[in-house]
Structure 1
């Protein structure tokens, strides 16, 4: 057990320090929290101190906020640990790891129906998640647009990207870091993805690409990339523009090919020039790996590729991160050959089935509107039908008492008034866990209902005691909040803070 105490005494500024009971057989002096200790400590003590603090973290398997993989087979864990000391970028020293990355790129490109000739290899690269992949794809679009504008003798200082307001924050980061205007199609109640019609209307001569989302983080819904391609093709033809499409398939790229093979969203559509996907989401690898694939070599400007030789051989590289581990790339290759198309399909079908169980259970309470679609990422997003007495944030907070981490959030503009709970169904989230979660939600609803009823009674009693029969000082909502606060304090005294 780690206990934080304040250092006191002459010459101190009450600097926070950490002390541990278990490690006291090795260490008697408290350790500073924000600077290195002056002396070394035994490895057993360092392990115990850190391990004890980590016990206070949430359980990753019950973190239903995250799309990121939290379980892999033991054999893959061994491969990861066996390669954890390899720096992937040193391709001359680790040629097999480089070959495995190239195999992954080609497998994923074929999965996305890239037009690859028999004597060619796919164009793509492994990245540190989809965030880096999006940065690289965005930079390629920006450079191609700039080159084209220069050839035409036109200005090239005001590039923009058109996308929906439901995009992940990494798109906003790209726009800010690389000075690209982000033109967002606003959402509306009941429609929480980008409207292709409105998106194409916003396209102009400065648009470097339109970004579509295959699996919105808000509701899991797939955007209509086929309609976007058709509308944009028509506009390009009418205006003489040449605006392409990027598909952010971070969540849906390893789902659609297995569950919805007839859905046209990938390189089957002519305007789709690049696609990113997160290997650490439904690619079934631990956090830290993403992929970006280009339709052809022409879609990745050569001037963005760097050639280095100080590690022993000529190495072309196009990444934002130079040093990175090899483990996740090896883990991705393991999953691709271990599971194959059949294995991925079985897992995605099972996730979809478990999502249906949860969706039915939540709907059966009669208290929620289901906002997520059955076609899309296997998740369940739902909002309260009546939020007068408590909110989805109250439900989210109380679920932590049972170990569940379920996010509550408001929708982006112009649907900020809609507040949502979202449960992501991953491979390790079983049907029994779905049923258990529904039971815990029902318990919380009963408790919150009881608190709200008690608050109304208190309010009525206060009103009866007033001269004019009106509560003058406190509203019902204020009283409810006070009752809720007292109730939380009582729970924390019994069980400790969540």
Structure 2
């Protein structure tokens, strides 16, 4: 996040206190934070929190100040907006603490840490179906955002090479992705001078890339297609095989193109771990997505986030190329540094290495079975949540589920027994639930804004985003959805507690709605607007009121 120099926008309202009244103890009042001025005095000119003090505070005091201030943050375990892992075992924490000062850039000083990184690359290559005829290569990154940049840049350079060899212009490259793409994919296009061709989604395409739309977007200047293995909006898997089939048809109709075999980069930020561990080959075949990894000829690179479903601490991503040929030498740097020659391709240099150690530790301690159990458990809880959302008497007809992991292949009715005993009967996807107020509920209570649910649940500590669906061709982007990410720590008990709070919120809203009109004298449309505006006010944060209304909230960057 970018920050401007100055004061925080958040706490702009001040309370006038009686003369001589001090919030801080005498000891704290005497502590000097800025030259010659007490802490209280420094706050008067607004600089206390935004200038480096001339004299530092004792460590214990600074610790307590920060610890108290940080309690205002949300509880990470109740942050159901985020895909980022929030649990770490005590043993893993000890390993992290012992290696917290190691720099991943110092290959010569920490050779064994670099060896662990190479082992992780090999493990991921096999996980993503890289065959013996290829030798994959890759690197750790700070997250999927950096990994996307590297994958996209490699495709751009390959396209430029093809076009130069054919004597054609390299002036107008473009890249294709669905409008459901996470913002990092668009950032690649903007930062590296590539035209971003966003394909609108629709309800029919399940709010993911519709391969048939490629006819309207692909041309000789297309450097590649980003295919998302689990969108952040609804968790749906975009179909590598169907995208490739359409690209085959397009290229067959243009034999004059010098850019043949348009490559696919798979954005597996979440699905890169979930899909190979959680779903059987038979499930993926029934979903018509048997080949999503390096076993597909068009897939040249894949990224994932270790700090999401790789279950590490924040700050780790991975990007792999199927073979050495897909990463041109011109992008690699050979540096004589710190005692040895290093070959690198990244946007960062010095960075912590403990996340890589944590990743390898997870591979060892969890193994395939451990990861499978973690993800299957999360999927079971997510499906049980959907079952209650749709069939609970207290919530009957109030919600519609937009995500699909609760749907059976045969279209049959979901039951507790099938969820627990027949996980292979359900469609694959990232363990999240995207849902919205039902059409029936909205017709009965048209003035109740869905955003209010998110705000009222926040009072119980739950952080659940409410955001519009991606740009669409059928108007479905006018819908807003609530999204819950079911990470491994989301137990059945916790999900039941959330459902209870959701029931309470819905009961309060409907009771308030039904009681309020009787207390108002206004009639007709003016009264309806008043009701809606009163309720919407409760869901509006102070920051939103100050910005002038141009900002449209969504959670594309929350990953």
Provide TM-score, normalisation by structure 2: 0.80
2:423 corresponds to which residue? none
Of 126, 146, 151, 1:137 maps to 151
SS state of the match for residue 103, structure 2? Answer: coil
2:527 corresponds to which residue? 475
The alignment status of 1:60 with 2:76, answered yes or no, reads yes
SS state of the match for residue 124, structure 1? Answer: strand
2:254 corresponds to which residue? 239
1:451 corresponds to which residue? 512
Deviates more, 1:51-60 or 1:186-195: 186-195
- The gaps in structure 2 that reach 5 residues or longer are 1-10, 17-21, 33-37, 43-47, 285-290, 406-427, 542-559
Of 436, 444, 447, 1:383 maps to 436
Of 413, 424, 449, 2:471 maps to 413
Change (3 A) 1:483 1:234: closer
Deviates more, 1:246-255 or 1:359-368: 359-368
Q: Is the 8 A contact 1:164 1:184 kept in 2?
A: yes
1:158 corresponds to which residue? 172
Distance 2:516 2:12 in 1: 38
1:186 corresponds to which residue? 200
Of 335, 359, 367, 2:398 maps to 367
RMSD: 2.4
Q: Is the 8 A contact 1:159 1:208 kept in 2?
A: yes
Distance 2:318 2:121 in 1: 7
Distance 1:112 1:237 in 2: 28
Of 492, 504, 507, 1:431 maps to 492
Distance 1:486 1:195 in 2: 38
Once the two structures are TM-superposed, the CA of residue 231 in structure 1 deviates from its matched residue by 2.2
Change (3 A) 1:407 1:153: same
Number of residue pairs aligned between Structure 1 and Structure 2: 467
The alignment status of 1:442 with 2:503, answered yes or no, reads yes
Distance 1:265 1:297 in 2: 20
Once the two structures are TM-superposed, the CA of residue 225 in structure 1 deviates from its matched residue by 1.1
1:214 corresponds to which residue? 229
Once the two structures are TM-superposed, the CA of residue 312 in structure 1 deviates from its matched residue by 1.0
2:31 corresponds to which residue? 27
Once the two structures are TM-superposed, the CA of residue 359 in structure 1 deviates from its matched residue by 0.9
Report 1:184-333 matches (<5 A): 184-190=198-204, 191-240=206-255, 241-262=260-281, 263=284, 264-333=291-360
SS state of the match for residue 254, structure 1? Answer: helix
- The gaps in structure 1 that reach 5 residues or longer are 9-17, 464-469, 490-498
1:15 corresponds to which residue? none
Moved over 6 A (4+): 3-8, 486-489
SS state of the match for residue 482, structure 2? Answer: strand
Distance 1:417 1:486 in 2: 21
Once the two structures are TM-superposed, the CA of residue 197 in structure 1 deviates from its matched residue by 1.3
1:45 corresponds to which residue? 61
Report 1:88-107 matches (<5 A): 88-107=104-123
Distance 1:258 1:372 in 2: 20
Q: Is the 8 A contact 2:235 2:432 kept in 1?
A: yes
Change (3 A) 1:480 1:116: same
1:166-214 per-position Cα deviation (integer Å, ceiling 9, x unaligned): 0000011111111111111102235300001112542100000011100
Distance 1:63 1:92 in 2: 39
Change (3 A) 1:179 1:488: closer
2:141 corresponds to which residue? 127
The alignment status of 1:392 with 2:447, answered yes or no, reads no
Q: Is the 8 A contact 1:357 1:435 kept in 2?
A: no
Once the two structures are TM-superposed, the CA of residue 116 in structure 1 deviates from its matched residue by 3.6
Deviates more, 1:152-161 or 1:184-193: 184-193
SS state of the match for residue 243, structure 2? Answer: helix
Distance 1:236 1:486 in 2: 54
Change (3 A) 1:239 1:74: same
Q: Is the 8 A contact 2:448 2:535 kept in 1?
A: no
The alignment status of 1:339 with 2:383, answered yes or no, reads no
Distance 1:96 1:48 in 2: 37
SS state of the match for residue 462, structure 1? Answer: coil
SS state of the match for residue 216, structure 1? Answer: coil
Of 173, 177, 188, 2:191 maps to 177
Q: Is the 8 A contact 1:143 1:301 kept in 2?
A: yes
Provide TM-score, normalisation by structure 1: 0.89
Distance 2:540 2:148 in 1: 42
Change (3 A) 1:271 1:20: farther
1:496 corresponds to which residue? none
Once the two structures are TM-superposed, the CA of residue 237 in structure 1 deviates from its matched residue by 3.8
Change (3 A) 1:22 1:289: farther
